[in-house]
Amino acid sequence: MIYFDNSATTKPYKEVVDSFVTVSNEYFGNPSSLHSLGGEAEKLLFQAREQAAKLLKVKPTEIYFTSGGTESNNIAIKGAALLSRKKGGHLITSTIEHASVLAAMEQLELEGFEITLLPVDENGRVRASDVEQAIRKDTLLISIMQVNNEVGTIQPIKEISEVLKKYPGILFHVDTVQGIAKVPLSLYENRVNLCSFSGHKFHALKGSGVLFIREGARLAPLFSGGNQERMMRSGTENVAGAVAMAKALRMTMDKSETGIEKMKRIQKILRAGLNEIEDCIIHTPIEGSAPHILNFSLIGMKSEVFIHALEAEGVFVSTTSACSSKKKSPSKTLLAMGVPEYIAESAIRISLSFDNTEEEARMAIALMKKAANHLRKVMN
């Protein structure tokens, strides 16, 4: 099996699964309980928070455990909007954000907030100048992803942070679900107030995530209840998930430097091979893109047909993002980049992990050529 769908989800590390099982079996107490079992669970949760903070180079008090990227995005965006409604009702984001960001913005729009959707250029990149032009007196939040989940374009986070130095009252939210450990990001240096992470994108388990809330930033909690996570995210904590996620983050970060270089070599092999396939267009820009995502179209070929043909050969890729792949609609990111709809409809996404190999890339290209040639003969 060649698994090239890591942007949808990664395979959990064995050590991470073992950690989750151990904590679930031996430290199953509720962290809020006063007895020793609760105290042991609370201690593990504290240690996981400290480890995550150290790896992200922030303070433990700025780490909030969530169920994943979608929840982190919703808490950041809605929490900021609802708390600051009296000060202003304007939010800025881009047309190529993850569905959890755009849907949250749409919901706020129904509540009376005003949303500005920024365009992107032909490479899928937001312009920092457009961000600055969109800022108003009542702007309260700007939400821009670090790495686009469909084509891999890296957004100008640093340039946007320079713009925002003149606007200290505006919160800056970055969705780094696709960027963590693959594209460097200093949360402090880039004036990031809020940042979303999802564990299953870096070999942790599904249902675990982090929201970084910089000291001084204030949000309205979306959940009411037992006031866990310092009143920001009520609900009994997923201790095993948090511990396992902290371990996965450490293991992934340890592999980062060599893993990134390996992924660059693999992507180079894939690009060269795809360029040899008839009527293949690569959408991921060569410069300014993450090393693990490669998006392309085979003109005139339905993406789902090609995906199933590859699956029969043991190669697993995807269409757009996993959250929208079953809708069978053209990639919103590619359309925003100016790609014609008939080409966007045939988009395929390859996404790598540090565990993929150059040999897998060569085998996958050979099987893609075989599948493309066969399908074109059938179509003709």
Q: Which residues contact 373 (CB under 8 A, 6 or more apart)?
A: none
Q: First-to-last CA distance in the chain?
A: 30
- Paired with 65 in beta bridges are 210
Residues 164 and 214: beta-carbon distance below 8 Å: no
**What whole-number distance in Å separates Cα of residue 151 and Cα of residue 320?**
9
**What whole-number distance in Å separates Cα of residue 282 and Cα of residue 344?**
11
The CA angle 176-330-369, to the nearest 5 degrees, is: 90
Question: Which residue of the set 55, 134, 282, 323 is catalytic?
Answer: 323
In which region does residue 62 sit, left (phi positive, over 0), alpha (psi from -120 to 50) or beta (all else)? Answer: alpha
DSSP string for 207-269:
T-EEEEE-TT-----S--SS-TTTTTS-S---HHHHHHHHHHHHHHHHHHHHHHHHHHHHHHH
- Paired with 348 in beta bridges are 296
Residues 353 and 6: beta-carbon distance below 8 Å: yes
Nearest to 40 by CA among 32, 232, 340: 32
Alpha helix (H) residue ranges in the chain: 14-26, 36-56, 69-83, 99-110, 128-134, 157-164, 239-274, 303-312, 332-336, 341-344, 358-379
Q: Is 195 a catalytic residue?
A: no
Phi, psi (degrees; rounded to nearest 5) at 242: -65, -45
Q: Mind telling me the catalytic residues?
A: 323
